[in-house]
A and B are shown apart, each in its own frame.
Chain A
Amino acid sequence: MRTDDLIDRLSAGLEPVRSGAVARLLAGAVLLGMAGSALVMLAMIGPRHDLAGAMTHPGMWTKLAYTFAMAAFGLWLVERAGRPGADMTRPALLLALPLLAIALLAGLQMSAPGADMTGLVMGRSSRVCAALVTLTALPTLAATFWALRKLAPTRLTLAGAGAGLFAGAAGAFVYCFHCTEEAAPFIAIWYTLGIGAVAAIGALLGRSLLRW
């Protein structure tokens, strides 16, 4: 086809784009993905039995706040990654805030007099925590990739890592409702390891799965 004919065809069939189209697409992916992650968590391991009581513990709110903030900045990173020419540095830098906060809190708890170091760091589920976070995150990772493929990522490894980071944090947020650990050092290490694992998976898959 001649290029002039192509231009004629493209402009003849032009439809207006509703504003906020990208935001709606991402919102759909987040809802779908997190519903999938919740189902996986409920079917695989179930919520903690004392959930209602746990909602009054500051430890519960600490891990919810940490994973929520990571997911929020991660989602912003995904939105930037899906737009050609957009700068990703700001959301990437903001991710340092929740990381610093949880590290600081972990340091405070560990330096308290008479702190049980091993208990704070290893808890009772350190061997399975990161793996379960990763499994819980997989439906959200799939939904985020699906949405990114409809956008226009131009740096595929970076976009994949951003998608993995968001999905890992969203999966960890869901996993909070199963996990009975409440010590900040445990969360800072094992939750973050799980989130990082999903980010690594996303980075590896991005190059091939995000091409358009």
Chain B
Amino acid sequence: MIAQEAQYRDWMLAALAGDAGAYRMLLAGLTRHLRSYYARRLDSGAAEDAVQETLIAIHARRATYDPALPFTAWVYGIARYKLIDEYRRHKRRATVPLDEAGALFGHDEAEEAIARRDVSKLLAKLPPAKRQLVSDIKLDGVSVADAAKRTGLSESAVKVTVHRAIKSLGEDVNRDSQKRQGGDADR
């Protein structure tokens, strides 16, 4: 079961009964999923158009939602149809999986942004030279050999530095979460 199912279904049922506030929240929430879904499959201009077309389709065809069925599967059916339509328009042949509402709801623009923010916050704890190495190798995919050439260190020294930095960050994360749990217990 997809995590957002219950919330979105509630909003959808309220919207079908005429609740504009719930409908706005639903469309805003779906827009985040749709943006990230189309951004990974279409180029940027086409992606935003596809988001809008899908929102209009959801609106125009909302009577076809059967409350006895999962809402996320209904939305995914429409999003997938619009994606295939877009591919067809550009004569691109592609297969799109049929039963994977998770492809739409697994990713979320906001969650991805939070994850990125957490990583950069964590990296900021490292001294600048180490930070550069970790971000080059672990995030940007620079090879160890290239990083060694750039910094003048030996390859094994680069590997050891990155390994130790990651380990110390891991210890930091553990300490933070223990502290947070301790704080909760005090309350």
Contacts and interface: CB of A to CB of B under 8 A. Distances in A.
A83 B66 contact: yes
Contacts, number: 85
A7 B63 contact: no
B61 A151 contact: yes
Nearest to B65: A83
A152 B52 CA distance: 17
Interface residues on B, range: 35 or more
B165 interface: no
Nearest to B82: A154
Interface of A: 1, 3, 6-8, 10-12, 14-17, 21-22, 82-86, 151-152, 154, 211-212
Interface string B30-45: 0100000000000000
Interface in B15-39: 15-21, 23-24, 27-28, 31
A7 B23 CA distance: 9
- Interface of A, helix, strand, loop or mixed by DSSP: loop
Contacts of A6: 52, 55-56
Contacts of B61: 84, 151-152, 212
A212 B60 CA distance: 11
B64 A3 contact: no
B158 to A, nearest CB: 44
Nearest to A211: B85
**Secondary structure type dominating chain B contacts:** helix
B126 interface: no
Contacts of B76: 84-85
B87 interface: no
Contact of B18 (A3, A14, A152): A14
Contacts of B23: 10-11, 14
Contacts of A151: 61, 64
A14 to B, nearest CB: 5
B69 A3 contact: no
Given A84-B78, A85-B74, A154-B78, A21 B63 contact: yes
B144 interface: no
B31 A7 contact: yes
Given A12-B20, A22-B63, 4 more contacts: A7-B28, A11-B23, A16-B18, A84-B76
A86 B20 contact: no
Given A84-B77, A154-B77, A10 B18 contact: no
Nearest to A152: B61
A16 B16 contact: yes
Contacts of A86: 66, 69, 74, 77
B34 to A, nearest CB: 9
Q: Top 3 closest A-B pairs, CB basis?
A: A84-B77, A85-B73, A16-B18
A191 to B, nearest CB: 32
Interface in B47-92: 48, 51-52, 55-57, 59, 61-66, 69-70, 73-78, 80-81, 85
A202 B64 CA distance: 21
B69 A83 contact: yes
B101 interface: yes
